[in-house]
Amino acid sequence: MAMYESDITQFLKTLKKERPALESEQREGRSLLWDKSPIDLEERERAAESRVAQKPYVYSLDN
């Protein structure tokens, strides 16, 4: 007995056959956007302490 496959499933199977490197390309793209190195808390604190307060309405003509 044949199992039903949706159009989307058939499309994805065909796409993966045509482009076998697709999953590795997706992983590379994901690593660029999401896989970040751990945050250095000391560096973050130093950056926050060295931040200069900005006056409101910096583009105002009354400066």
Determine the distance from the C-alpha atom of residue 63 to the mean position of all C-alpha atoms in its chain, rounded to a whole number.
39
In a domain, 30, yes or no: yes
The predicted structure's pLDDT at residue 16:
95
Boundaries of domain holding 36: 7-50
In a domain, 59, yes or no: no
Condensed to tens digits (0 to 9), the pLDDT of residues 39-55 reads 889 999 998 999 988 77
In a domain, 15, yes or no: yes
Please count the structural domains in the chain.
1
Condensed to tens digits (0 to 9), the pLDDT of residues 3-51 reads 899 999 999 999 999 999 999 999 999 888 888 888 889 999 998 999 9
The predicted structure's pLDDT at residue 62:
59
In a domain, 2, yes or no: no
Which has the higher per-residue pLDDT, 11 or 2?
11
* 8-state DSSP, 34: T
In a domain, 63, yes or no: no
Q: Is 1's pLDDT higher than 90?
A: no
